């Protein structure tokens, strides 16, 4: 059995706020196998970005990891000192964020930023690093890369900047790439280009990818496996076709129904999930979705459901069975 | 499906141009202009929803704001409810304002953070009516009910509400004076997916009940497919295709529309993995310096020589379906149109 | 089975709290309660202000009524009796005026001039800033250039200039009555530019926001848009600059009075007292200088600290 390249167990991330505490991530566990693309789907406040930030170790204080473990190829990385974490970032874990304009330093050329990243982690001299940078930019689809090394971030379009971010993220051949809403701010035709690029790069380099987004269409196109998050927890996890074809958690089912599509059947009226996502301050003593769930029953008020297997490589955190509308036989 | 032949035109836009000057240098001389909206014409029939789609920088938001005269237009004419307002000054426009309103994109920035909900919704009433205080309060409550907001919250401030609720406040404000025409400028772009459906359903319900006419501006093609009766596609300041909804999505004619539709990721892995995405090369040209000839010639997968020299005029390929593309000019209309229709049919069959 | 949640949505904050309660629970009150420096500063400022306002009623003596003055009271050290037998807690000056009372009356003048001048600067600066920011173009250019010129001169110089002009324009017999108003005008004109700049920047930001567009779509008069929509939203930084500006105005007035061009001798302010006291510092009657000086410092410092706290506290939004 292959070892997972990234392993997260019972992660809890909290933010103290005055006399209260805000729980952004509430007991998340999953494994990522080498080379697979895992999509993490959820709305704002579900905790998906926070989980990504926890892995890289970039949670803004006073937020912190309250409990749980994160292991990269078996070694624990959540409890390392800041220096050690900084060594991991860029070298073994690459990251691409949503807004490339704020991720790149506007005062330095992108060549300088690329070379800095490369030389921080790899033992190359200036000339070798420069050549590698040019190669990376070309691979990322930037035309006339050698010239564009001298350009500043604001001289690139949004799509180009994101390609630069991807080049920087992959500069040191990381084992895991964490992409947090990388195409959300891009136009749809540019998004298609970037998705194509990611697929090609993945074929070539074989790194594992955690792709965080709220866009189900993007997930359908790029993910091998999907995790649905709600209220700081993973509520369903399955291979991508299984999730879209046979969703078991009421939230996933409702979410899939609210999204209209460009082809296929046109809905007369969009399905709606009434109410709003919860704001948690402690470990939930009940299912976080119960207030909005069309088939909640009284057990859902008393216990927070754990994930149970509901299909091939497919688990969901729910007491109910959507086929019958009643409790599931476990 | 909205029948365009018998409806009355509520909004007529002809040759609308919005060119913003660019100043540079020490003496701030005018060195050029950003052609945000460049000769756009369309009609909106009473009771229908016209979707206006395109990517960032295409000019759709500018177009929507220009139609409501938030800007002084560079040239062209705008007729709303029979009145020409393109050249109208502040005084002449003011009595016409109640007919036309707007719902904005950012629920946070579109409400004055220092005003209560009740004050925000009653400002239109203060400005344009002579209702007494009790009558205004009653009307505010009526509007809050209509958009699904609890009356108890009338004295709360915007920051105490969620994004979806704030958007409802904005809609209530837009409805206060019983407008006929509402421009919705990306009204759901800033909302979570599950809240988007709530707001869109509300907009549709209100349209049915109050007979409203919408110009629905959005970059979200799947949502526009749901709500619009007819759709106009914009690229770099020009309308490249305008068609009834089903025709546009099933048989897109303009190469840009084809690329746009194929680029939208479908929430279905079986379709997504098999779908052939048309990838456009390069970036959108700057609206300050559009290419000669057709604006799309630098990226079009079906570009011909003539496209680089001559700008295509809008041509009606089917009733109510017009395209601005040399593939569909008078002479090449039959062959090119037929080929495109066959190709489109093939690709939709493959996708299923 | 639980009920399907079809009721209208709840707001994020609990219902049915009064405005006062909400204010007490807000971030700004919390940060006040957790900042000992601010609490002390506000108490000191409050005491000094009350002392100044209530001076005619609570001052032990009236130091500016020549009828009650007795030269035999002069040069009494603090916490002792004068030669004439009266008790003075902070001592007396060369003319027998009770130092405590002079401080109280002096603070009155200082605060009156300080507040008025700052208010004048605020109204002028905010008004011009709104116009410059909203209208842009030539209005912006002209107003900001004037502001730039004013900012490049030291405030004292501008005040002296205005004083000089006033002295030339106003007939001599009216000069004493007008002195305070000229002083207020002078300090106000020296300080408005800071308000104008800040408000202009904030106005340019708010002008772009959609709630202003919504008001324009409604056909609201631009002047009313400025007052109703833009002004309330740019006042935050104005309050901060206002408090710091108040401290500045008090010091500027003290400086001018110290130099002899400020308030007339019949209405001495803390600055005048310092000027008087300075003469006697090296001859041993230190209390005549020290107490007014300490009062001035405490006043300016406490107002400054309040301004600092306000700036930090207003910096996430008041919730």
Summarize pLDDT for C127-185 with one digit per residue, the tens: 999 999 998 888 999 999 999 998 898 888 888 888 888 888 888 777 777 788 888 99
pLDDT at C318: 44
Positive or negative CA dihedral for C131, C136, C142, C147?
Answer: positive
Please enumerate in sequence order all residues whose Cβ is within 8 A of that of A22, keeping only pairs 6 or more positions apart, or say none. Answer: A14, A15, A16, A279, A280, A281
Return the residue in C3, C4, C9 with the most chain A beta carbons within 10 A, the one to mutate for interface testing. Answer: C4
pLDDT at B352: 40
Please enumerate in sequence order all residues whose Cβ is within 8 A of that of C53, keeping only pairs 6 or more positions apart, or say none. Answer: C108, C111
Asked which of B77-81, B205-209, C232-236 is least confident by mean pLDDT, the reply is: C232-236
A172: nearest Cα among A145, A140, A133, A227: A133
Residue B111 and residue C211: Cβ atoms within 8 Å?
yes
Please enumerate in sequence order all residues whose Cβ is within 8 A of that of C149, keeping only pairs 6 or more positions apart, or say none. Answer: none
A160, A189, A267 member nearest B259 (Cβ): A189
B133 touches chain C (CB under 8 A): no
Q: Enumerate the residues of chain A whose CB falls inside 8 A of the CB of residue B149.
A: none
Sequence-ordered alpha helix ranges (H) in B160-252: 163-175, 193-210, 221-227, 245-250
Q: Enumerate the residues of chain B whose CB falls inside 8 A of the CB of residue C17.
A: none
pLDDT at A154: 86
**Chains with ≥3 CB–CB distances under 8 Å to C:** A, B
Structural domain boundaries in chain C? 109-266+304-318
Beta bridge mates, B254: none
Which residue, chain included where needed, has tokens 């409790």? A327
Report which DSSP code applies to A285. Answer: S
Residue B70 and residue C216: Cβ atoms within 8 Å?
yes
C4 touches chain A (CB under 8 A): yes
C214 touches chain B (CB under 8 A): yes
Q: Enumerate the residues of chain B whose CB falls inside 8 A of the CB of residue C214.
A: 102, 104, 110, 170, 173
Residue C1 and residue A296: Cβ atoms within 8 Å?
yes
A275, A293, A296 member nearest C9 (Cβ): A275
Q: Enumerate the residues of chain C whose CB falls inside 8 A of the CB of residue B189.
A: none
Encode pLDDT of B227-274 as tens digits: 999 999 999 999 999 999 999 999 999 999 999 998 888 888 888 877
User: How far apart (Å, rounded) are the C-alpha atoms in residues B211 and A158?
Assistant: 40
| Residues in chain A, overall count | 330
Which residue, chain included where needed, has tokens 């494994």? A31
Predicted confidence band at B204 (pLDDT cuts at 50, 70, 90)? very high
The total of other beta-carbon atoms located within 10 Å of residue A84's CB is 11
C197: nearest Cα among C249, C157, C152: C152
b/e code B263-281 from CB counts within 10 Å (16+ = b): bbbbbbbebbeebebbbbe
Residue B153 and residue C11: Cβ atoms within 8 Å?
yes
Q: Enumerate the residues of chain C whose CB falls inside 8 A of the CB of residue B153.
A: 11, 15
Task: Kindly report the nearest CA distance between residue B157 and chain C, in angstroms.
Answer: 10
Q: Enumerate the residues of chain C whose CB falls inside 8 A of the CB of residue A300.
A: 2
| Contacts with A, B 146-205, CB within 8 Å | 162, 164, 192-198, 200-201, 204
User: How far apart (Å, rounded) are the C-alpha atoms in residues C182 and C252?
Assistant: 14
Residue A275 and residue C5: Cβ atoms within 8 Å?
yes
Highest mean pLDDT among A97-101, B116-120, B273-277: B116-120
Work out the burial of residue C135: count CB atoms within 10 Å of its CB; fewer than 13 is exposed, 13-18 middle, 19 or more buried. Answer: middle
Q: For the whole model, what pTM was predicted? A: 0.83
Residue A240 and residue B264: Cβ atoms within 8 Å?
no
Residue B152 and residue C229: Cβ atoms within 8 Å?
no
Which residue, chain included where needed, has tokens 């220092």? B114
Please enumerate in sequence order all residues whose Cβ is within 8 A of that of C108, keeping only pairs 6 or more positions apart, or say none. Answer: C52, C53, C55
Residue C4 and residue A274: Cβ atoms within 8 Å?
yes
pLDDT at B338: 53
pLDDT at B341: 55
pLDDT at B342: 54
Return the residue in A20, A275, A278 with the most chain C beta carbons within 10 A, the one to mutate for interface testing. Answer: A275
- In terms of CA atoms, which chain C residue is nearest residue A290? C2
3-state helix, strand, coil in chain B (%, to 5): 40, 25, 40
A101 touches chain C (CB under 8 A): no
Q: Enumerate the residues of chain B whose CB falls inside 8 A of the CB of residue A267.
A: 226
Cβ-contact B200, B188 below 8 angstroms: yes
Return the residue in C7, C10, C11, C318 with the most chain B beta carbons within 10 A, the one to mutate for interface testing. Answer: C11
Residue A192 and residue B265: Cβ atoms within 8 Å?
yes
Provide the ipTM: 0.83
H-helix or E-strand spanning residue C118: helix C99-135
pLDDT at A261: 78
Which CATH class for the C109-266+304-318 domain?
Answer: mainly alpha
Q: Enumerate the residues of chain C whose CB falls inside 8 A of the CB of residue A45.
A: none
Residue B93 and residue C15: Cβ atoms within 8 Å?
no
B149 touches chain C (CB under 8 A): yes
What average pLDDT does range B193-203 have in this prediction?
88
Task: Kindly report the nearest CA distance between residue A299 and chain C, in angstroms.
Answer: 10
Task: Kindly report the nearest CA distance between residue B183 and chain C, in angstroms.
Answer: 11
Q: Is-cis flag, bond preceding A62, omega within 30?
A: yes
Q: What is the pLDDT along chain A (330 residues), one digit of tens a residue?
A: 678 899 999 999 988 877 788 888 888 998 999 889 999 998 877 888 888 888 888 888 788 888 889 988 888 888 888 888 888 887 888 889 888 777 888 899 989 988 988 888 888 899 999 999 999 999 888 888 888 899 998 888 888 889 998 988 888 888 899 999 998 888 888 888 889 898 888 888 888 999 999 888 899 989 999 999 998 889 999 999 999 988 989 889 888 888 887 777 777 777 777 777 777 777 777 888 888 888 888 888 888 888 888 888 888 888 888 777 777 765
Residue B94 and residue C211: Cβ atoms within 8 Å?
no
The pair phi, psi for residue B87, each rounded to 5°, is -105, 0
| Contacts with A, C 23-52, CB within 8 Å | 30
Positive or negative CA dihedral for B72, B77, B80, B83?
Answer: positive
Q: Enumerate the residues of chain B whose CB falls inside 8 A of the CB of residue C233.
A: 112-114
Residues of chain C with pLDDT below 50 are 1-16, 318-319
Residue B222 and residue A43: Cβ atoms within 8 Å?
no
- In terms of CA atoms, which chain C residue is nearest residue A289? C5
Encode pLDDT of B34-75 as tens digits: 999 999 999 999 999 999 999 888 899 999 999 999 999 999
**Chains with ≥3 CB–CB distances under 8 Å to A:** B, C
Q: Enumerate the residues of chain C whose CB falls inside 8 A of the CB of residue A291.
A: 5
pLDDT over threshold 60, residue B331 = no
């Amino acid at each position: 059995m292959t070892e997972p390249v990234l392993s997260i167990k019972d992660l809890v991330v909290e933010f103290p706020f005055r006399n209260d505490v805000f729980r952004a991530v509430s007991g998340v566990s999953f494994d990522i196998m080498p080379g697979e693309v895992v999509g993490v789907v959820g709305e704002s406040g579900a905790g998906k970005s926070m989980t990504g930030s926890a892995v890289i170790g970039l949670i803004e204080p006073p937020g912190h990891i309250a409990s749980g473990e994160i292991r990269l190829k078996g070694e624990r990385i959540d409890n390392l000192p800041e220096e050690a974490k900084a060594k991991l970032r860029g070298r073994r874990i690459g990251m691409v964020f949503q807004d490339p304009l704020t991720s790149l330093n506007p005062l330095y050329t992108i060549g300088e930023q690329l070379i800095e990243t490369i030389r921080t982690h790899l033992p190359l001299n200036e000339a070798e690093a420069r050549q590698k940078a040019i190669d990376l930019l070309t691979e990322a689809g930037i035309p006339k890369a050698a010239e564009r090394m001298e350009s500043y971030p604001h001289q690139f379009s949004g799509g180009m900047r994101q390609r630069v971010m991807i080049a920087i993220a992959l500069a040191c051949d990381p084992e895991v790439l964490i992409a947090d809403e990388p195409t959300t701010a891009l136009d749809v035709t540019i998004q298609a280009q970037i998705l194509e690029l990611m697929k090609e790069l993945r074929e070539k380099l074989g790194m594992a990818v955690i792709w965080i987004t709220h866009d189900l269409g993007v997930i359908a196109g790029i993910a091998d496996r999907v995790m649905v998050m709600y209220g700081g927890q993973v509520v369903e996890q399955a291979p991508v076709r299984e999730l879209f074809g046979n969703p078991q958690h009421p939230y996933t089912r409702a979410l899939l129904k609210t999204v209209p599509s460009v082809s296929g059947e046109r809905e007369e009226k969009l399905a709606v999930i009434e109410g709003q996502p919860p704001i948690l301050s402690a470990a939930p003593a009940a299912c976080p979705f119960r207030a909005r769930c069309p088939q909640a029953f009284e057990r859902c008020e008393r216990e927070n459901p754990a994930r149970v297997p509901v299909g091939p490589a497919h688990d969901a955190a729910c007491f109910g069975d959507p086929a019958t509308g009643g409790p599931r036989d476990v | 499906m909205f029948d365009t032949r018998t409806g009355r035109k509520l909004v007529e836009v002809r040759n609308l141009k919005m060119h913003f000057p660019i100043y540079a240098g020490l003496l701030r001389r005018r060195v050029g202009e950003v052609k945000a909206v460049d000769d756009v014409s369309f009609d909106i029939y009473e009771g229908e929803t016209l979707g206006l789609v395109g990517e960032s920088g295409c000019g759709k938001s500018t177009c929507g704001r220009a139609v409501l005269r938030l800007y002084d237009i560079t040239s062209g004419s705008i007729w709303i409810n029979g009145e020409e307002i393109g050249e109208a000054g502040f005084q002449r426009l003011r009595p016409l304002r109640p007919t036309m309103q707007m719902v904005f994109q950012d629920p946070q920035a579109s409400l004055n953070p220092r005003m209560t909900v009740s004050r925000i919704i009653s400002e239109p009433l203060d400005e344009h009516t002579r209702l007494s205080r009790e009558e205004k309060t009653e009307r505010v409550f009526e509007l809050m009910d209509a958009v699904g907001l609890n009356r108890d919250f009338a004295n709360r401030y915007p920051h105490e509400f969620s994004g979806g609720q704030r958007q409802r406040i904005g809609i209530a404000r837009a409805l206060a004076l019983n407008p006929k025409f509402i421009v919705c400028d990306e009204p759901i772009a800033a909302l979570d997916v599950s809240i988007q459906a709530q707001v869109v359903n509300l907009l549709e319900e209100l349209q049915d009940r109050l007979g409203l006419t919408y110009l629905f501006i959005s970059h979200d093609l799947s949502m526009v497919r749901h709500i619009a009766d007819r759709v106009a596609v914009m690229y770099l300041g020009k309308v490249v295709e305008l068609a009834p909804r089903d025709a546009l999505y099933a048989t897109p004619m303009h190469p840009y529309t084809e690329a746009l539709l194929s680029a939208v990721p479908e929430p279905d892995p079986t379709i997504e993995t098999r779908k052939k995405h048309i990838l456009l090369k390069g970036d959108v040209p700057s609206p300050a310096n559009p290419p000669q000839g057709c604006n799309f010639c630098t990226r079009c997968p079906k570009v011909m020589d003539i496209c680089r020299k001559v700008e295509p005029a809008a041509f009606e390929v089917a009733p109510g379906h017009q395209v601005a593309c040399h593939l569909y000019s008078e002479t090449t209309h039959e062959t090119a149109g037929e080929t495109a229709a066959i190709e489109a049919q093939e690709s939709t069959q493959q996708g299923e | 089975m639980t009920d399907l949640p079809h009721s209208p949505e709840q707001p994020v904050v609990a219902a049915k709290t009064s405005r006062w309660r909400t204010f007490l629970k807000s971030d700004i009150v919390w940060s006040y309660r957790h900042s000992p420096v601010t609490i002390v500063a506000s108490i000191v400022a409050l005491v000094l202000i009350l002392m100044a306002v209530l001076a005619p009623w609570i001052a032990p003596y009236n130091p500016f009524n020549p009828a009650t003055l007795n030269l035999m009271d002069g040069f009494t050290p603090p916490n002792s009796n004068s030669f004439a037998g009266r008790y003075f807690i902070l001592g007396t000056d060369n003319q027998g005026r009770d130092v405590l009372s002079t401080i109280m009356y002096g603070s009155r003048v200082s605060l009156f001039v300080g507040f008025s001048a700052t208010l004048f600067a605020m109204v002028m600066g905010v008004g011009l800033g709104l116009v410059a920011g909203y209208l842009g173009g030539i209005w912006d250019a002209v107003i900001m250039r004037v502001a730039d010129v004013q900012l490049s001169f030291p405030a004292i110089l501008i005040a002296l200039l205005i004083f000089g002009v006033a002295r030339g324009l106003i007939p001599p017999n009216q000069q004493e009555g007008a002195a305070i108003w000229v002083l207020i005008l002078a300090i106000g004109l020296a300080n408005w530019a800071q308000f104008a700049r800040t408000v202009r920047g904030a106005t340019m930001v708010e002008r772009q926001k959609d709630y202003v567009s919504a008001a324009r779509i409604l056909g609201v008069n631009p002047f009313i848009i400025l007052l109703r929509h833009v002004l309330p939203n740019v006042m935050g930084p104005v309050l901060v600059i206002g408090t710091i500006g108040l401290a500045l105005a008090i010091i500027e007035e003290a400086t001018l009075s110290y130099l002899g061009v400020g308030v007339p001798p019949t209405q001495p302010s803390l600055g005048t007292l310092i000027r008087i006291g300075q003469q006697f510092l090296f001859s041993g009657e230190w209390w005549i200088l020290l107490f007014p000086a300490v009062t001035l410092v405490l006043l300016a410092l406490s107002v400054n600290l309040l301004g600092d706290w306000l700036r930090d506290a207003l910096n996430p939004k008041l919730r």
